[in-house]
Structure 1
Amino acid sequence: MSGPLAGLRVVEVGVAMAGPYCAMTLGDFGAEVVKIERVGAGDDSRSWPPHFFGAMGYYYGSANRNKRSVALDLKTPEGAAVARRLIEGADILVDNYRIGALARAGLDWETLRAANPRLIYCSISGFGASGPRAEEPANDLFMQAYAGGMSITGEEGGGPVKMGMSVADIGAGMLATIGVMMAVEARHRTGRGQRVDTSLLEGQMSMLAHFVTRYFASDEVPGPSGSGALTSPTYRAYRASDDWIVISAFNQRMWRGLCAALDRPEWVADPRFADAALRVANRLELIDLIGAAVATRRVAEWEMLLRSNEVPCCPINRIDKVVAEEQVAARDMVMEIDLPGLGAMRMAGLPVKLSETPAAIGLPPPRLGQHTAEVMRGAGYADEEIEALARRGAIGLDEGWREGDQPRRTG
């Protein structure tokens, strides 16, 4: 790997999405990532259906490329000792276990910092490392509810709706990646590592920033707004004669374009709708009027009319349509990776393009414990020690470990 993070060593102790997503991103840009998983079961998401060729959960596969898997039992002193040796030789630790879980294995921040002052210790938890709920568990659905996201999602007057994607998990993973990069930059100046502490809660609160600010400014509690925004009736989905289309006319120029496309030029100066504040005040009436007009034509016709009037619009694409889009292909946002012995796996591509040191997919999602022996040899363990630890159940070995069983690299 030759990305901008080449030379950095990362140890991930993570499950599901938040921690694995952060560590995968670091790996995509060249860092060497070792993923520590439980002996026997591995990352919980390995077993979540559906499975790729019956061997690997798609969820796991989507967040664990560019990593080597080491199977350890951190509840045993021997397994924890192996983890400690790996972390002491690393630049970055990424952890999304519950607060206190790694401390019970002697892998807490204070202990590891004393042994490796340059270590950047990134913790992603449900609630953060402090506060009355710090040690409680949380997951994506829980946090979408707790942090308020579900209260603004769905149709007005309807029941609560979860955001379709794992927005709390991935949001926390993204913020953790940013935090790690800031800590790496600080280390360039100081020579010292530091703790990076973020959570699903803080990720969701940051995404809700304008809702929170609006509440404090108006004392009004925001609620769900369906496919649009409470602040704009011209920024939402409408039903055409054959399907749904999103209209996102968010300024006065686009409002004039929308009126022209709908063949309602008189609305431009209508005292009910002449500016944004009036359109919000008469929001429900305007939604009904626009809806009645949009229902008279097909989506394709509206696309032509709206675009010709410089009004952003789009059909509600399903995933099968998205992955077939020319723009998606032009940006390499669908990539194929080879799983040795299983076949090709297609996945979302690399979202950040760097002109001089681009990201790359170098390793496929690993089998559980595929690299235990390889990584331990690199940390100074002899084969006899590896075999003894495996017999005691402290580590897990993949078949063919004596041969190294290197996975085939893909571009």
Structure 2
Amino acid sequence: MKAALNGIKVLEFSVAMAGPFCGMLLADFGAEVIKVERPGFGDESRAWPPFFDGKLSHYFAAANRNKKSVCIDLKSEAGIVILRRMAQQADVIIDNFRLGALERIGLDYEALRKDNPRLIYCRITGYGASGPLAGERANDLAIQAYSGGMSLTGEADRGPVRMGISVADIGAGMFATIGILTALVARSETGTGQLVDASLLEGQVAMLANHFTSFFSTGAAPVRRGSSGPGMVPYQAFKASDDWMVVASFTERMWRGVARAVGKPEWGDDPRYADAKVRLANRDELVARLAEIFRTRPVAVWEARLKAEGVPVTRVNSVDRVACDPQVLARDLIATLRHPAYGEVRMPGPAVKLSHTPAAIRMPPPMLGEHTHEVLSGLGIEEATMNELEQDGIIAMYSAMARA
């Protein structure tokens, strides 16, 4: 079956998570993604522990399947000449290097589109490509803090907490992917490419959607409430006798179901709890009373009682539980692939299913420089020339690095 993005060639200049995650999403749906890495070092995340088989970084593996790796020195004139040739054949470029890094060597959008007007150039930055912080270094933690997300994460009586997932990095990668796919659709009509401008900050502000509208509608900045929702009670985590669970009551019908499930049907009509507004006003009292009751039974009992009343409830799962969860496995959300050098590698699989052109994992994360020879041969560069470039340190090929 032909892949959805079959025939789309992507040149990826990116490290860590945001840019690589974007490239991986495109690769999963069939794009040929060529990752450009530094000879000898590669993407810095290759060195981040822990490792599969003691060598393959878990972090690198998480965002670089289905790609080809070429090693070319971006600081050499000969290397830049090669990359400009590659850019002429590319449909998409992904750049999450520091703002201006590729511009200084003539590999920015304005320079490359002159030779390739169909080029879609996706630039992913930390704070955005303009404004007073455009040139500032950024990372996931910094943007979670700067965007306002950390001010909402954590318990009310404690300090702000970083969200456990790299939401700023991965969010930027997903928004960048949406931009690229939109630009590809537009190109099919216009015949020309365009610049896709994404950033970690803009992704986080967008994802704080209802929190900003709450602020704009009330004038009050949202605050940390732990696991509870700002406008619904009960809507949070509770400790059962054996584990944590979340109870999500967001309609009056569900609230009355909670009251019946905990053996307090009279609470449904109690004037202190009878509607959402008064429950919010009496949040602390109600939550304390519910917490005392929930501690008396295990999660399985509360799941049975609450689900029978139509109230959403679920155990707070740890990652090891999720990895073997029947629903997760039924949806093929955990993928297992064989790496020729490192053996079995497991990771989350593609999250979006298409009925006619599904995503697939065709290749494991590449070895550093594994495809340099293949890609440069495709440009018409002869073997002798490649050997000279390798001797001069301008390119690196996997076989040579493996010998080293």
Work out whether the TM-score is over 0.5: yes
1:259 matched residue in structure 2: 259
Q: Which residue is 2:228 aligned to?
A: 228
Q: Which residue of 1 aligns with 2:166?
A: 166
Q: Per-residue deviation at 1:24?
A: 0.5
Q: Partners of 1:221 and 1:133 in 2: how far apart?
A: 23
For residues 189-218 of structure 1, give each alpha carbon's deviation from its aligned partner in whole angstroms, at most 9, with x where no partner exists.
000000000100001001111111111211
What is the DSSP-based 3-state SS (H/G/I as helix, E as strand, rest coil) of the residue aligned with 2:368? coil
Q: How does 1:46-125 map to 2 (within 5 A)?
A: 46-125=46-125
Shift of 1:382: 0.7
Q: Output one character per residue of 1:215-236: Cα deviation in whole Å (capped at 9) or x when no partner.
A: 1211111111111212223110
CA distance in 1, matches of 2:243, 2:342: 39
Question: Following superposition, which runs of at least 4 residues in structure 1 exceed 6 angstroms of deviation?
Answer: none
1:219 aligns with: 219
Cα distance, 1:252 vs. partner? 1.1
CA distance in 2, matches of 1:284, 1:83: 61
Counterpart of 2:176 in structure 1 is 176
Structure 1: 5+ residue stretches without partners = 402-411
Whether the 8 Å CA contact 2:123–2:197 is kept in 1: the answer is: yes
Provide the aligned length of Structure 1 versus Structure 2: 401
Spell out the pairing of 1:191-206 with structure 2 (5 A cutoff): 191-206=191-206
Distance in 2 separating the partners of 1:88 and 1:231: 53
* Partner SS, residue 293 of structure 2: helix
2:5 equivalent in structure 1: 5
Matched-pair contact (CA < 8 Å) for 1:127–1:201: yes
Give the superposition deviation at 1:155.
Answer: 0.4
* 1:21 matched residue in structure 2: 21
For 2:345, the equivalent position in structure 1 comes to: 345
Alignment pair present for 1:294 and 2:294: yes
Gaps in structure 2 of 5+ consecutive residues = none
After superposition, the C-alpha distances for 1:322-370 in whole angstroms (9 at most, x for unaligned) are: 1111111110011111110321111111111111111111111000001
Q: What's the CA shift string for 1:114-137, capped at 9, x where partnerless?
A: 110000000111011111111111
Task: Give the C-alpha shift of residue 20 in structure 1.
Answer: 0.5
Q: Give, as a single letter, the amino acid of the residue that structure 1 aligns with 2:159.
A: G
Displacement of 1:400 in angstroms is 6.5
Residue 249 of structure 2: aligned partner? 249
**Identity fraction in percent:** 52
Return the alpha-carbon distance in structure 2 between the equivalents of residues 381 and 310 of structure 1. Answer: 65
1:315 matched residue in structure 2: 315
- Output the CA distance in 1 between the equivalents of 2:105 and 2:300: 60
Query: 2:118·2:192 contact (CA, 8 Å) conserved in 1?
Result: yes
Structure 1 CA distance for aligned equivalents of residues 238 and 27 of structure 2:
41
Aligned to 1:268: 268
Which residue does the alignment assign to 1:404? none
Does the 8 A contact of 1:333 with 1:349 survive in 2?
yes
CA distance in 2, matches of 1:28, 1:57: 20
Helix, strand or coil: the match of 1:99? coil
The 3-state SS of whatever aligns with 1:285 is: helix
In 2: Cα distance, 1:234 partner to 1:134 partner: 42
Cα displacement (A) at 1:305: 0.6
2:370 maps to a residue whose letter is Q
Deviations 1:296-336 (A, max 9, x none): 11111111111111111011100111111111111001111
Kindly state the Cα deviation for residue 185 of structure 1 after the two structures are TM-superposed: 0.2
Q: Is the 8 A contact 2:23 2:94 kept in 1?
A: yes
Q: Is the 8 A contact 1:144 1:204 kept in 2?
A: yes
Tell me if the contact between 2:71 and 2:397 (Cα under 8 Å) persists in the aligned partners.
yes
1:232-278: CA deviation from partner (whole Å, max 9, x where unpaired): 23110011122111101111111111111011111111111111111
The DSSP-based 3-state class of the residue aligned with 1:115 is coil
The answer to whether residue 366 in structure 2 is matched with residue 366 in structure 1 is yes
Query: In structure 1, what residue type is equivalent to 2:373?
Result: A
Q: How far apart in 1 are the matches of 2:343 and 2:372? A: 23
State whether residues 20 and 63 of structure 2, in contact with CA within 8 Å, keep that contact through their aligned partners in structure 1.
Answer: yes
Aligned AA (1:274): A
Partner Cα distance (2:384, 2:273) in 1: 79
Alignment of 1:326 onto 2:326: yes
Report SS of the residue matched to 2:398: coil
* Amino acid in the other structure paired with 1:370: E
Aligned-partner residue type, residue 277 of structure 1: K
Structure 2 counterpart SS, 1:222: coil
Q: 1:319 and 1:2 mapped to 2: Cα distance?
A: 34
| Worse-superposed segment, 367-376 or 226-235 | 226-235
| TM-score, reference length from structure 2 | 0.97
Cross-structure match for 1:36:
36
Deviations 1:122-158 (A, max 9, x none): 0111011111111111010110111111110000110
Are the aligned partners of 2:233 and 2:276 in contact in 1 as well (CA < 8 Å)?
Answer: no
SS across alignment from 1:35: strand
| CA deviation map 1:33-69 (0-9, x unaligned) | 1000111110010000011112210000011001000
Query: Conserved in 1, the CA contact under 8 Å of 2:56 and 2:342?
Result: no
**8 Å contact kept, 2:372–2:396:** yes
Amino acid at match of 1:114: K
Where do 1:113-152 residues align within 5 Å?
113-152=113-152
SS at match of 1:69: strand
Asked whether the 8 Å contact 1:232–1:283 carries over to 2, the reply is: no
